[in-house]
Structure 1
């Protein structure tokens, strides 16, 4: 979902990233595993793949 800074939903967006993988990492309770995974792989979504919608 695309949201404004105040949390209001604006639109749904699709991505080519695996939602299962993102969900697994977001919900991973084992912080040691999660931090080791992040160190080995780097961020799943980098800043270059993030779009910011701004109002004029």
Structure 2
């Protein structure tokens, strides 16, 4: 598996572009592992229900 370095801003944009579980799967991580990385770099995460609300508004 190849590694890819991301800037904090790139990771922030990814975290706010799709659900954490899907993003973690893309990187081969658990969602909890990705959550810990975000916490380490002080990246705020969408609140619970964010993606359901987003999908409802988008329809």
Please tell me the TM-score bracket, short chain as reference: under 0.3
Q: Which structure has more RCO (C-alpha within 8 Å, separation ≥ 6)?
A: 2
TM-score by length of 1: 0.27
- TM-score (norm. length: structure 2): 0.26
More helix by share: 2
